Chain A
């Protein structure tokens, strides 16, 4: 036990209200590498955990702008530069005809980057995560609420953190190995 690396400590709570209070107390105590795992979104939990805004929007904007540029460049190159081609009396590069393709490519790249950017930021996909070693964690998708404090937290101390999580009402407080 002492030779293995610890991932963190996980505690179980039985209601949205209790995990909300627990999150507030853990943050007040000074822990920073904390996360909550709940069966449904709990209002105010991200604020209680003092989580900053997601960076996903910036990824999506970059890919969306890339889509616009690629679409414009592609249509200009193929129709008006590489092989000038007059269709139904319209000029080789007419902005009107480029709008639907530009819009679609922007949406396509934005959508794909939103999904895969979310995967990337969450370090997904992965086959296993240490937190699943917790004995009752499967109930996180059913009727229980879990709070995790990671071992990388500067304030992390196995005995002290376990005692603290128990003192704020956590049940099944377990030390999870890496």
Chain B
């Protein structure tokens, strides 16, 4: 151990003499302000025009973007626990993304303001509702906010630990920091899995508090990790056009990020199908109601669009090695998957919004009956969706994604572009796919 502790990694100048280690002072400042400005403007306009529906739209955007931030933390911890070499240059971008988690706490405020409206079903349950009475030990306002604090404490704590450790290594070059982070990553991942699962239960699944699915957290994670990889690909490519990270994150890294994005796109399909098939097969009313809500009011078309757009199209498109190694094709695939991720969040969150408050009691029976009388075709359903969808259902996601991108640019400008003295930096810059 003493031998390794005294070792220092080779400097960046030795490994890659042409690599920019920092963003030039003042550079990217306009982009940062523009991204933050567009984001705040979109959220503000949504709040001004959306009425009560704004809170549901905001939750769509918030959960979509939160998944990206959380999975940046997941990505960082997985790289540490596996002691991966290839991803060192990508990791700093993930660290700068997860550093947005404290801002995500701030951006949680609109959810708190809309809390009463969003979670109306269980905040003001029907007096005769035995199911919700049985769940009241978990689903009550006090414990809900206690859990919000716990989740954010875990996430922000882990994010700050891994980011500050990595930044400290930039200065000291101490390889022991890598070992310590690998050790903390194990319990960190456990905490992450539990907190993300219960947050998905609390913030999305409880919109329809009668319904339950134990795999729900994993489906949320799968989509979020795919979106994180898509976001990272787009950000890195954009930084590349500005002349940064071009050598550090090269075609080999994009190939691997593309493979992971492809893999978790398929994993999303796998977990969602697992959830759907078991519910479909057992055909129990308290479980099928959730899908019955999603077969009417245009959501039937969105279900089909998700099967095709979240699986079949990207599966065929991203399968080839040549696509993953082509910058334009991979970026196009990543942007497409980010749009699909937003539609996925709409599918999870919005059907509860339109039915929820109006049909508090007997809403499920209504939805089931409704599904039978409207056995519409795809185009009729799509027409209904397009008629019902509010611009904020996309606008909030785009706005929050823009804010996240702005925060990432801000962090990128403040830190070194890659972990300069990570012992495996050379391995990461020079690795090749077979």
Minimum CB–CB distance from B321 to chain A (whole Å) comes to 8
Q: Which residues of A contact B280 (CB under 8 A)?
A: 96
Instruction: Judge whether B432 and A96 touch: CB under 8 Å.
Output: no
Instruction: Judge whether B281 and A88 touch: CB under 8 Å.
Output: yes
Asked if A129 is at the interface of the complex by the 8 Å CB criterion, the answer is no
Instruction: Judge whether A41 and B434 touch: CB under 8 Å.
Output: yes
Asked if A99 is at the interface of the complex by the 8 Å CB criterion, the answer is yes
Interface residue tally of chain B, by bracket? under 10
* A81 CA / B283 CA spacing, docked (Å): 25
Interface 1/0 per residue, A13-46 and B, CB below 8 Å: 0000000000000000000000000000101101
Instruction: Judge whether A96 and B283 touch: CB under 8 Å.
Output: no
If A96-B277, A99-B273, A99-B277 touch, does A89 touch B283 (CB 8 Å cutoff)? yes
A-B contact count (CB 8 A): 17
Minimum CB–CB distance from A151 to chain B (whole Å) comes to 29
Minimum CB–CB distance from A71 to chain B (whole Å) comes to 15
Minimum CB–CB distance from B254 to chain A (whole Å) comes to 18
Instruction: Judge whether B432 and A44 touch: CB under 8 Å.
Output: yes
Instruction: Judge whether A96 and B281 touch: CB under 8 Å.
Output: yes
Q: Which residues of B, 309-353, contact A by the 8 Å Cβ criterion?
A: none
Instruction: Judge whether A96 and B276 touch: CB under 8 Å.
Output: yes
Q: Which residues of A contact B432 (CB under 8 A)?
A: 43-44
Q: How many interface residues does A have (CB within 8 Å)? A: 11
Would you call the interface of chain A mostly helix, strand, loop, or mixed?
mixed
* A143 CA / B46 CA spacing, docked (Å): 67
* A100 CA / B432 CA spacing, docked (Å): 35
* A161 CA / B432 CA spacing, docked (Å): 32
Interface 1/0 per residue, A96-115 and B, CB below 8 Å: 11011000000000000000
Q: Which residues of B, 276-293, contact A by the 8 Å Cβ criterion?
A: 276-277, 280-281, 283
Minimum CB–CB distance from A46 to chain B (whole Å) comes to 8
Q: Which residues of B contact A99 (CB under 8 A)?
A: 273, 277
Q: Which residue of A lies closest to B278 (CB)?
A: A96
* A96 CA / B276 CA spacing, docked (Å): 9
Q: Which residues of B contact A89 (CB under 8 A)?
A: 283
* A99 CA / B278 CA spacing, docked (Å): 12
Interface 1/0 per residue, B257-279 and A, CB below 8 Å: 00000000000000001001100
Residues of A within 8 A of B (CB): 41, 43-44, 46, 88-90, 96-97, 99-100
Can you name 17 A-B residue pairings with CB atoms under 8 Å?
Answer: A41-B434, A43-B432, A44-B432, A46-B434, A88-B281, A88-B283, A89-B283, A90-B281, A96-B276, A96-B277, A96-B280, A96-B281, A97-B277, A97-B281, A99-B273, A99-B277, A100-B277
